[in-house]
Amino acid sequence: MTQKVAEIFELHERLHEVHASRRNIGFVPTMGALHQGHLELVRHAKRANDLVVVSIFVNERQFNNPEDFDKYPRNPNQDLELLSAEGVDIVYFPKVDELFTQEFKAPGFHFNGLDTCLEGASRPGHFQGVVDVVYALFQHVDPTKAYFGMKDFQQVAIIRKMIADFALSVELIEVPTIRSEQGLALSSRNLRLNEAEKTEALVLVNTLTFIEKNYGILETTELLERARDQIRNSSLKLDYLEIVDKQSLKPLSTLQTEAVACVAAYCGSVRLIDNMLLIAR
Protein backbone atom coordinates (compact mmCIF):
# COMPACT_ATOMS: atom_id res chain seq x y z
CA MET A 1 0.00 0.00 0.00
CA THR A 2 1.31 3.43 -0.98
CA GLN A 3 2.09 5.69 1.97
CA LYS A 4 2.01 9.49 1.80
CA VAL A 5 4.72 11.12 3.92
CA ALA A 6 5.26 14.84 4.54
CA GLU A 7 7.59 14.96 7.57
CA ILE A 8 11.26 14.06 7.42
CA PHE A 9 11.13 12.22 10.76
CA GLU A 10 8.32 10.02 9.43
CA LEU A 11 10.26 9.33 6.23
CA HIS A 12 13.33 8.25 8.22
CA GLU A 13 11.16 6.13 10.47
CA ARG A 14 9.73 4.26 7.49
CA LEU A 15 13.11 3.84 5.80
CA HIS A 16 15.12 2.89 8.89
CA GLU A 17 14.54 -0.85 8.66
CA VAL A 18 15.19 -0.86 4.91
CA HIS A 19 18.52 0.88 5.38
CA ALA A 20 19.42 -1.33 8.35
CA SER A 21 18.79 -4.50 6.36
CA ARG A 22 20.77 -3.10 3.40
CA ARG A 23 17.88 -3.50 1.02
CA ASN A 24 17.83 -1.40 -2.13
CA ILE A 25 15.88 1.85 -2.29
CA GLY A 26 14.94 3.25 -5.68
CA PHE A 27 14.24 6.98 -5.76
CA VAL A 28 12.43 9.08 -8.36
CA PRO A 29 12.50 12.84 -7.63
CA THR A 30 9.72 14.75 -9.42
CA MET A 31 7.88 18.06 -9.39
CA GLY A 32 4.54 16.30 -9.80
CA ALA A 33 2.02 16.72 -12.62
CA LEU A 34 3.03 13.18 -13.47
CA HIS A 35 2.85 11.65 -16.93
CA GLN A 36 3.95 8.39 -18.54
CA GLY A 37 7.56 9.58 -18.63
CA HIS A 38 7.60 9.77 -14.84
CA LEU A 39 5.81 6.45 -14.55
CA GLU A 40 8.43 4.81 -16.76
CA LEU A 41 11.07 5.95 -14.25
CA VAL A 42 8.95 4.38 -11.50
CA ARG A 43 8.69 1.10 -13.42
CA HIS A 44 12.45 0.95 -13.84
CA ALA A 45 12.84 1.57 -10.12
CA LYS A 46 10.25 -1.08 -9.21
CA ARG A 47 12.04 -3.74 -11.25
CA ALA A 48 15.43 -3.16 -9.63
CA ASN A 49 14.78 -2.28 -5.98
CA ASP A 50 13.14 -3.59 -2.82
CA LEU A 51 11.36 -0.31 -2.08
CA VAL A 52 10.54 2.76 -4.21
CA VAL A 53 10.26 6.35 -3.01
CA VAL A 54 8.89 9.12 -5.23
CA SER A 55 9.17 12.74 -4.12
CA ILE A 56 6.85 15.50 -5.28
CA PHE A 57 8.16 19.01 -4.74
CA VAL A 58 7.82 22.04 -7.01
CA ASN A 59 11.20 23.60 -6.40
CA GLU A 60 10.98 27.38 -6.62
CA ARG A 61 14.77 27.69 -6.69
CA GLN A 62 15.02 26.28 -10.20
CA PHE A 63 12.54 28.75 -11.70
CA ASN A 64 14.19 31.97 -12.83
CA ASN A 65 10.75 33.22 -13.90
CA PRO A 66 8.30 33.57 -10.97
CA GLU A 67 5.34 33.45 -13.36
CA ASP A 68 6.54 30.08 -14.68
CA PHE A 69 6.69 28.77 -11.11
CA ASP A 70 3.16 29.99 -10.41
CA LYS A 71 1.81 28.40 -13.59
CA TYR A 72 3.57 25.07 -13.14
CA PRO A 73 0.80 22.41 -13.07
CA ARG A 74 0.05 20.83 -9.70
CA ASN A 75 -2.15 17.73 -9.42
CA PRO A 76 -1.21 16.04 -6.11
CA ASN A 77 -4.31 13.90 -5.76
CA GLN A 78 -4.06 12.59 -9.31
CA ASP A 79 -0.33 12.02 -8.81
CA LEU A 80 -1.03 9.91 -5.73
CA GLU A 81 -3.56 7.82 -7.62
CA LEU A 82 -1.10 7.17 -10.45
CA LEU A 83 1.72 6.24 -8.08
CA SER A 84 -0.52 4.00 -6.00
CA ALA A 85 -1.55 2.16 -9.18
CA GLU A 86 2.15 1.58 -9.94
CA GLY A 87 2.76 0.14 -6.47
CA VAL A 88 5.06 2.90 -5.22
CA ASP A 89 5.84 2.35 -1.54
CA ILE A 90 6.30 5.94 -0.34
CA VAL A 91 5.31 9.26 -1.87
CA TYR A 92 7.25 12.02 -0.15
CA PHE A 93 5.95 15.62 -0.12
CA PRO A 94 8.90 17.38 1.55
CA LYS A 95 8.50 20.73 3.28
CA VAL A 96 10.71 23.51 2.01
CA ASP A 97 11.99 24.40 5.49
CA GLU A 98 13.03 20.79 6.06
CA LEU A 99 14.84 20.57 2.74
CA PHE A 100 16.94 23.68 3.14
CA THR A 101 17.25 26.98 4.92
CA GLN A 102 17.06 30.18 2.90
CA GLU A 103 20.87 30.30 2.69
CA PHE A 104 21.34 26.60 1.83
CA LYS A 105 23.50 25.60 -1.11
CA ALA A 106 24.89 22.19 -2.01
CA PRO A 107 28.34 22.50 -0.40
CA GLY A 108 31.33 23.23 -2.59
CA PHE A 109 29.93 22.11 -5.93
CA HIS A 110 31.63 23.49 -9.05
CA PHE A 111 29.79 23.24 -12.35
CA ASN A 112 32.88 23.74 -14.53
CA GLY A 113 30.75 25.45 -17.16
CA LEU A 114 27.99 22.85 -17.34
CA ASP A 115 25.52 25.42 -16.00
CA THR A 116 26.26 28.32 -18.37
CA CYS A 117 25.37 26.76 -21.73
CA LEU A 118 22.05 25.64 -23.27
CA GLU A 119 19.43 25.75 -20.48
CA GLY A 120 21.84 27.54 -18.18
CA ALA A 121 22.34 30.41 -20.61
CA SER A 122 18.58 30.90 -20.92
CA ARG A 123 17.74 30.24 -17.26
CA PRO A 124 20.43 31.74 -14.99
CA GLY A 125 20.54 30.05 -11.60
CA HIS A 126 18.33 27.17 -12.72
CA PHE A 127 20.89 24.43 -12.21
CA GLN A 128 22.03 25.70 -8.83
CA GLY A 129 18.42 25.23 -7.78
CA VAL A 130 18.39 21.73 -9.26
CA VAL A 131 21.60 20.72 -7.52
CA ASP A 132 20.40 22.17 -4.21
CA VAL A 133 17.14 20.23 -4.18
CA VAL A 134 18.53 16.94 -5.50
CA TYR A 135 21.41 17.03 -3.02
CA ALA A 136 18.98 17.73 -0.15
CA LEU A 137 16.59 15.00 -1.28
CA PHE A 138 19.45 12.51 -1.50
CA GLN A 139 20.29 13.35 2.12
CA HIS A 140 16.69 12.74 3.16
CA VAL A 141 16.12 9.48 1.27
CA ASP A 142 19.66 8.03 1.06
CA PRO A 143 18.69 5.95 -1.99
CA THR A 144 20.60 3.10 -3.58
CA LYS A 145 19.60 4.17 -7.08
CA ALA A 146 18.08 7.39 -8.42
CA TYR A 147 16.21 7.59 -11.72
CA PHE A 148 16.28 10.51 -14.15
CA GLY A 149 14.85 10.90 -17.64
CA MET A 150 17.15 11.77 -20.52
CA LYS A 151 14.75 14.43 -21.83
CA ASP A 152 16.55 16.65 -19.32
CA PHE A 153 19.96 15.72 -20.75
CA GLN A 154 21.85 18.66 -19.27
CA GLN A 155 20.33 18.09 -15.85
CA VAL A 156 21.42 14.44 -15.93
CA ALA A 157 24.98 15.47 -16.84
CA ILE A 158 25.10 17.86 -13.88
CA ILE A 159 23.61 15.37 -11.41
CA ARG A 160 26.12 12.77 -12.61
CA LYS A 161 28.96 15.23 -11.86
CA MET A 162 27.45 16.10 -8.46
CA ILE A 163 27.32 12.44 -7.46
CA ALA A 164 30.94 11.93 -8.54
CA ASP A 165 32.26 15.13 -6.94
CA PHE A 166 30.59 14.43 -3.59
CA ALA A 167 31.38 10.68 -3.77
CA LEU A 168 27.74 9.91 -3.04
CA SER A 169 26.79 6.26 -2.72
CA VAL A 170 23.75 6.58 -4.99
CA GLU A 171 23.82 5.09 -8.50
CA LEU A 172 22.41 7.29 -11.25
CA ILE A 173 20.11 5.45 -13.64
CA GLU A 174 19.40 7.20 -16.94
CA VAL A 175 16.08 6.36 -18.61
CA PRO A 176 15.40 7.17 -22.28
CA THR A 177 12.92 9.91 -23.19
CA ILE A 178 9.31 8.77 -23.41
CA ARG A 179 7.32 10.27 -26.28
CA SER A 180 3.71 10.51 -27.35
CA GLU A 181 2.53 8.39 -30.27
CA GLN A 182 3.20 11.41 -32.49
CA GLY A 183 6.74 11.83 -31.12
CA LEU A 184 6.42 14.79 -28.75
CA ALA A 185 8.66 14.37 -25.70
CA LEU A 186 6.43 13.96 -22.66
CA SER A 187 6.62 16.83 -20.18
CA SER A 188 4.46 18.23 -17.42
CA ARG A 189 4.51 21.50 -19.38
CA ASN A 190 2.58 19.77 -22.18
CA LEU A 191 -0.51 20.12 -19.98
CA ARG A 192 -0.43 23.82 -20.82
CA LEU A 193 -0.58 23.15 -24.58
CA ASN A 194 -3.84 22.95 -26.49
CA GLU A 195 -4.30 20.29 -29.18
CA ALA A 196 -3.22 22.58 -32.00
CA GLU A 197 -0.06 23.56 -30.12
CA LYS A 198 0.79 19.90 -29.45
CA THR A 199 0.75 19.36 -33.20
CA GLU A 200 2.79 22.50 -33.85
CA ALA A 201 5.36 21.39 -31.24
CA LEU A 202 6.13 18.27 -33.29
CA VAL A 203 8.52 20.44 -35.30
CA LEU A 204 10.99 19.90 -32.45
CA VAL A 205 11.21 16.12 -32.75
CA ASN A 206 10.96 16.33 -36.55
CA THR A 207 13.91 18.72 -36.61
CA LEU A 208 15.95 16.54 -34.27
CA THR A 209 15.18 13.52 -36.45
CA PHE A 210 16.37 15.49 -39.49
CA ILE A 211 19.63 16.23 -37.68
CA GLU A 212 20.02 12.60 -36.57
CA LYS A 213 19.52 11.31 -40.15
CA ASN A 214 21.97 13.80 -41.66
CA TYR A 215 24.65 13.92 -38.95
CA GLY A 216 27.93 13.02 -40.65
CA ILE A 217 26.39 13.46 -44.08
CA LEU A 218 25.92 17.22 -44.14
CA GLU A 219 28.64 19.53 -42.84
CA THR A 220 27.81 20.39 -39.22
CA THR A 221 27.40 24.15 -39.67
CA GLU A 222 25.12 23.66 -42.67
CA LEU A 223 23.15 20.97 -40.87
CA LEU A 224 22.53 23.24 -37.90
CA GLU A 225 21.48 26.20 -40.04
CA ARG A 226 19.03 24.11 -42.06
CA ALA A 227 17.63 22.63 -38.85
CA ARG A 228 17.25 26.06 -37.22
CA ASP A 229 15.40 27.28 -40.29
CA GLN A 230 12.88 24.47 -39.89
CA ILE A 231 11.93 25.83 -36.47
CA ARG A 232 12.17 29.50 -37.47
CA ASN A 233 9.74 28.79 -40.31
CA SER A 234 7.26 27.21 -37.91
CA SER A 235 4.97 28.87 -35.37
CA LEU A 236 7.47 28.18 -32.58
CA LYS A 237 9.99 30.74 -31.34
CA LEU A 238 13.48 29.22 -31.24
CA ASP A 239 15.56 29.74 -28.11
CA TYR A 240 18.53 27.55 -29.05
CA LEU A 241 19.44 24.57 -31.20
CA GLU A 242 22.95 23.19 -30.77
CA ILE A 243 24.96 20.05 -31.42
CA VAL A 244 27.08 19.54 -28.31
CA ASP A 245 29.76 17.29 -26.85
CA LYS A 246 28.19 14.58 -24.66
CA GLN A 247 30.49 15.28 -21.71
CA SER A 248 31.39 18.99 -21.75
CA LEU A 249 28.13 20.13 -23.43
CA LYS A 250 30.20 22.56 -25.49
CA PRO A 251 28.78 23.37 -28.95
CA LEU A 252 30.43 21.50 -31.82
CA SER A 253 31.18 22.83 -35.28
CA THR A 254 33.06 19.74 -36.41
CA LEU A 255 32.09 16.09 -36.56
CA GLN A 256 32.49 13.78 -33.57
CA THR A 257 31.66 10.09 -33.47
CA GLU A 258 28.89 10.78 -30.95
CA ALA A 259 27.18 14.02 -29.97
CA VAL A 260 23.82 15.30 -28.77
CA ALA A 261 21.43 17.69 -30.49
CA CYS A 262 19.65 19.91 -27.95
CA VAL A 263 16.78 22.27 -28.62
CA ALA A 264 14.55 24.70 -26.72
CA ALA A 265 11.70 26.73 -28.16
CA TYR A 266 8.50 28.48 -27.15
CA CYS A 267 5.21 27.05 -28.31
CA GLY A 268 2.87 29.89 -27.50
CA SER A 269 3.84 30.83 -23.93
CA VAL A 270 5.16 27.36 -23.07
CA ARG A 271 8.88 26.68 -23.25
CA LEU A 272 9.72 23.15 -24.42
CA ILE A 273 13.02 21.28 -24.59
CA ASP A 274 14.13 18.09 -26.30
CA ASN A 275 17.32 16.32 -27.39
CA MET A 276 18.53 13.39 -29.45
CA LEU A 277 21.71 11.31 -29.49
CA LEU A 278 23.70 11.59 -32.70
CA ILE A 279 26.02 8.94 -34.12
CA ALA A 280 28.15 9.85 -37.14
CA ARG A 281 27.40 7.93 -40.31
Same domain, 216 and 264: yes
Same domain, 29 and 122: yes
245 contacts 258 by C-beta, under 8 angstroms? no
Q: Residue 95 has what pLDDT? A: 94
Q: Residue 101 has what pLDDT? A: 80
Active-site residue identified among 19, 38, 44, 126? 38
Q: Is the pLDDT reported for residue 103 higher than 80?
A: no
> CA torsion angle for 74, 208, 237, 115 (degrees, to 10)?
70
Which residues constitute the domain of residue 199? 188-274
Q: Residue 105 has what pLDDT? A: 75
Last residue of a domain, one of 175, 201, 231: 175
281 lies in some domain: no
Same domain, 56 and 129: yes
Q: Is the pLDDT reported for residue 153 higher than 90?
A: yes
pLDDT average, residue stretch 133-137: 96
Q: Residue 211 has what pLDDT? A: 98
pLDDT average, residue stretch 109-135: 93
pLDDT tens by residue, 18-74: 999 999 999 999 999 999 999 999 999 999 999 999 999 999 999 988 888 998 889
Percent of the chain with pLDDT over 90: 89
Same domain, 127 and 265: no
Q: Is the pLDDT reported for residue 102 higher than 80?
A: no
105 lies in some domain: yes
State the average pLDDT for the chain.
95
CA atoms within 13 A on the CB side of 111: 20
Same domain, 43 and 88: yes
pLDDT average, residue stretch 204-231: 97
Same domain, 199 and 239: yes
Q: Residue 47 has what pLDDT? A: 97
Same domain, 145 and 219: no
Catalytic: 38?
A: yes
3-state SS, residue 194: coil
Same domain, 80 and 201: no
* Helices (H), ranges, 124-201: 126-141, 153-165, 195-200
Q: For residues 222 and 214, what is the distance between their CA atoms, to the nearest angstrom?
A: 10
Question: In the beta sheet, which residues pair with residue 200?
Answer: none
Number of structural domains in the chain: 2
